[in-house]
Structure 1
Amino acid sequence: MPPSKRPIDLNTYARADILRAFNSRLLPQFSTTCEVEVTGIKRQAEAAGVSFFVALSHAVSSAVNAVPELRHRMIDGVLYEFERVDPGYTVAREGDLFSFCDGEHTSDFGRYCEETQRRMDAVKRQPDLSVGEKHHMFFITSIPWFSFTAFTHPYDPVYGYIPVITLGQYTERAGAVVMPVAVQVHHGVVDGLHVGRFYAKLNELSRQAASWLKLGPDRA
């Protein structure tokens, strides 16, 4: 079930002038890339025997949900804050093609892992490129074939407020696992300050991976 949302009164919204200013721009989004150390997530995923991508996507989803501004969406002229936003993924399939996959965020990693893997397996069997109701989502795409220092996505004005997170190829350096993580957001509701909070939370979750990246009855 899609998460609930509450309308934000633009008459009292502190960013109302900023929102209007950027809505008048031809391209109101900005994208930034930061190298993130994901050693804790990589090592803990290996120890638990789970997909590194699934584990990393859970950390990304948790970090996105921790920043209220990343849950703001403009729908039919009304600004909303969702109580929760769910991840959507691109999933590789045969023939050098891909499919979209809609996920669901939960703080319970074991449940998230099981459900995400089930959904990803399903779209590999029956690909889905439909674009239905997505306002309650954000998107994660993985580019494991190369690293990068900048990344941008096509702009869709209907879903322009949806953050897009891009994960690049990871490398090992002096015992640490690092990878580029790009974030594309709508500048009307999100500033560099908020993107910085996302990166800080993602780094924190990687350092603390042993406390949440668990399967079984003793998981956190």
Structure 2
Amino acid sequence: MRTKIDINTWKRKENYLFFKDFVTPFFSITVEMDVTKAYKKSKEKGYKFSLYCMYAALKAVNENESLRYRQLDGEIYLYDRIELNTPIARADHSFSSVILPYYKTFSGFSQAALPIIEAAERGEGDAYSADARKDTFVVSINKWYNFTGATFQIPQNAGESIPLMALGKMVSKEGRLQMPAVMNFHHGFTDGYNVGLFWNRFQELLDED
């Protein structure tokens, strides 16, 4: 479900009109997430750490209204629900992109996600058809190296404002596990305050027992 926004009465009218025609209306933020508790919990309970990270990020997005706006054909819509678009590696190091449905609980999310992920690992699907969906949030799991910053490839229809995230390789620092996370945000739809809410909520979910 989605709701069409009347730009003339929208609280972000000024922000949107100012940024919408920028060549690059996005800004990117890179942070270090403390994943000590999340990683330990995944090992104790026997589920994939990366799957829980994707769930936590997706839930934080769904709880943040500013990250559920999309521009389609010159109109602004607010989606009630955002799904996850993520690339899944195949044995030959190519990938398939899949859509994982959002559930408020990790158990619901993992039960729905695992069969989809397993099918992609077997070679089903293709690399980019999932990109046709606009009610999505893109997360790429990059387990091969740590990073302190990143840029994203933005399509010509950048106004769609789909947030893109990459999660990097964990490193140990002073007895804590730290994971880099970078995400881009469309400045017409969100700003520093809401971005801060997102990162704080993501961390809270990673810390949940």
Seq. identity, %? 28
Paired letter, 2:22:
R
What SS does the aligned partner of 1:11 have? helix
C-alpha distance in 1 between matches for 2:89 and 2:41? 24
The structure-2 alpha-carbon separation of the partners of 1:109 and 1:131, relative to structure 1 and needing over 3 Å to count, comes to closer
CA shift for structure 1 position 59:
0.6
CA shift for structure 1 position 175:
2.7
What SS does the aligned partner of 1:153 have? coil
8 Å CA contact 1:183, 1:195 repeated in 2: no
1:79-158 to 2 correspondences below 5 Å:
79-125=76-122, 126-129=124-127, 130-131=129-130, 133-158=132-157
CA shift for structure 1 position 185:
1.6
Unmatched 5+ stretches in structure 2: none
C-alpha distance in 1 between matches for 2:95 and 2:131? 17
C-alpha distance in 1 between matches for 2:36 and 2:137? 24
What SS does the aligned partner of 2:189 have? coil
CA shift for structure 1 position 165:
1.1
Listed one character per residue, the Cα deviations across residues 88-142 of structure 1 (whole Å, up to 9, x for unaligned) are: 1111112221221111110121121121111111112213222453111010001
Listed one character per residue, the Cα deviations across residues 164-189 of structure 1 (whole Å, up to 9, x for unaligned) are: 11101111223321111101121111
C-alpha distance in 2 between matches for 1:176 and 1:141? 23
8 Å CA contact 2:99, 2:130 repeated in 1: no
Paired letter, 1:168:
G
Normalising by structure 2, we get a TM-score of 0.93
Aligned to 1:204: 204
Q: Among 14, 30, 34, which residue is 1:33 paired with?
A: 30
CA shift for structure 1 position 155:
0.5
C-alpha distance in 1 between matches for 2:9 and 2:197? 24
Aligned to 1:182: 182
Paired letter, 1:135:
K
The structure-2 alpha-carbon separation of the partners of 1:46 and 1:131, relative to structure 1 and needing over 3 Å to count, comes to closer
Listed one character per residue, the Cα deviations across residues 44-99 of structure 1 (whole Å, up to 9, x for unaligned) are: 11111000111111111111111100001011111111111011111111222122
Listed one character per residue, the Cα deviations across residues 9-33 of structure 1 (whole Å, up to 9, x for unaligned) are: 1011121121111111111111110
CA shift for structure 1 position 43:
1.0
CA RMSD for the aligned pairs? Answer: 1.4
Q: How many residues align?
A: 206
C-alpha distance in 2 between matches for 1:40 and 1:58? 15
C-alpha distance in 2 between matches for 1:132 and 1:195? 23
The alignment status of 1:167 with 2:167, answered yes or no, reads yes
C-alpha distance in 2 between matches for 1:175 and 1:92? 30
What SS does the aligned partner of 2:8 have? coil
Aligned to 1:23: 20
